[in-house]
Amino acid sequence: MEFKFTPENIERINKEIQKYPEKKAAVMAALYIAQEQNGFISTDVMKEIATLLDITAEDVLGVVTFYTMYHQKQMGKFHIQVCTNVSCMLRGGYDILKQIKDKIGIDDMGVTDDGLFSIEEVECMGSCGTAPMIAVNEDYYENLTKEKVEELLKSLSQTHS
């Protein structure tokens, strides 16, 4: 499906472009804004960004595939990222990952049928001192226990209903 940035987002991207000597340096910011608008980075999104920044769609794809925060398919309304890097792993990160997978019934990078949840196992999110932790969209939840995770999933489901 064809993708066009909203006029407001074009303005945001233009502001980013002005920060750098070369347009292409704004690619990460443009991808961030695109994901916010579209939910994920489709082929058409990449083409549009390439046109705006005078680079090729392959250049954009290279960035999309390098960084895990960009998704090439629609993720859930609540995208849950579970850190299983060293600090989190030592403090039960894998137990939390399993707990969430079992509870919502999907595997890594899966999306629930109702589109509410998706899950992704990720590397360190820089919050090792408060391990184990997860992120739901942009929000961090730290010093987690099984009970806290249970409570969080319940409240996210309720927010939606």
Q: Centre a 10 Å sphere on the Cβ of residue 28 and count the other Cβ atoms it contains.
A: 15
* Residue 35 or 85 having the CB closest to ligand FES: 85
- Pairing, β 117-122 against β 78-83: parallel
Length of the chain equals 161
* Residue 24 or 91 having the CB closest to ligand FES: 91
* Residue 118 or 127 having the CB closest to ligand FES: 127
Q: How far apart are CA 37 and CA 2, in angstroms?
A: 13
Q: Which of residues 110-139 bind ligand FES (CB under 6 A)?
A: 124-128, 131, 133
* Residue 10 or 125 having the CB closest to ligand FES: 125
Distance in Å, CB of 25 to ligand FES, minimum: 28
Number of residues engaging ligand FES in binding (CB under 6 A): 12
Residue with tokens 């969209």: 137
Distance in Å, CB of 92 to ligand FES, minimum: 11
Q: Which of residues 26-85 bind ligand FES (CB under 6 A)?
A: 83, 85
List of residues contacting ligand FES (CB under 6 A): 83, 85-88, 124-128, 131, 133
